[in-house]
Amino acid sequence: MSAPDTPPPWFRDAMHLPRSEITALYDHEMPREPGWREGPNLERQSDYAWALEHFGHASELMDPGIIRVVRIFTEHKIETCQSCQGGEGHAYTRPSVDLTYQPWEALGVASHYGIPVTRISHIWNVDPDSDEPRDSPIWRIEFRPDRLSRLRDRWYDEEEADRQEYAAWLAAHEEHPDA
């Protein structure tokens, strides 16, 4: 048994990049198959692996800085329809997740995980041909970028510590060929 690989070095840095640079990473540097798992619980996959499993290759376009929030909402049966980590070159200025319904459940889940919600909006899209509202409004939840960034850093630091602890445990318990 060998120690798990570490996440790609660019993954955490991508959480602070403009959209054009993230696209370049996806196009040129991102591994197409996840090769690592987090911590001692091998059933818990990396955020990237989770996005690939749940959204297929569409996750190649999912911003790394919002995957964990979408993952948490999805694991709590909150249906998301789009997301953005926010910032320069992104669709939204702030990290955001759009929902088809359940905004108050999402607020409760975010609060439970310490995810810093700053705004919940009900958005009606307008049909450009008729200037009439479309039938299906969406709910947008926006997050405070600086606090979400610190929270993400804490999540990934804790998981890195878990990986290192697990790797040390594996090294101490590997079967020796002489045994």
Q: What is the pLDDT of residues 2-19, one digit of tens each?
A: 333 455 666 667 777 777
Distance CA 113, CA 104 (A): 14
Instruction: Output 21 or 149, whichever has higher pLDDT.
Output: 149
pLDDT reading at 83 higher than 50:
yes
Q: CB under 8 Å, gap of 24 or more: what pairs does 106-114 form?
A: 106/73, 106/78, 106/139, 106/141, 107/141, 109/72, 109/73, 109/76, 109/78, 110/69, 110/72, 110/141, 110/143, 113/72, 114/151
The domain segmentation of the chain, as residue ranges, is 10-123+134-173
pLDDT at 9: 63
Say what the pTM is: 0.70
Is the pLDDT score of 139 beyond 50?
yes
Q: What is the pLDDT of residue 11?
A: 67
What's the pLDDT band for 41 if we cut at 50, 70, 90?
A: very low
The more confident residue out of 144 and 50 is: 144
What pLDDT, on the 0 to 100 scale, is given for residue 36?
38
Banded model confidence at residue 175, pLDDT cuts 50, 70, 90: low
Predicted local distance difference test score (pLDDT) of residue 117: 97
- Measured CA angle at 129 (ends 123, 134), to 5 deg: 30
pLDDT-derived band of residue 33, with 50, 70 and 90 as boundaries?
Answer: very low
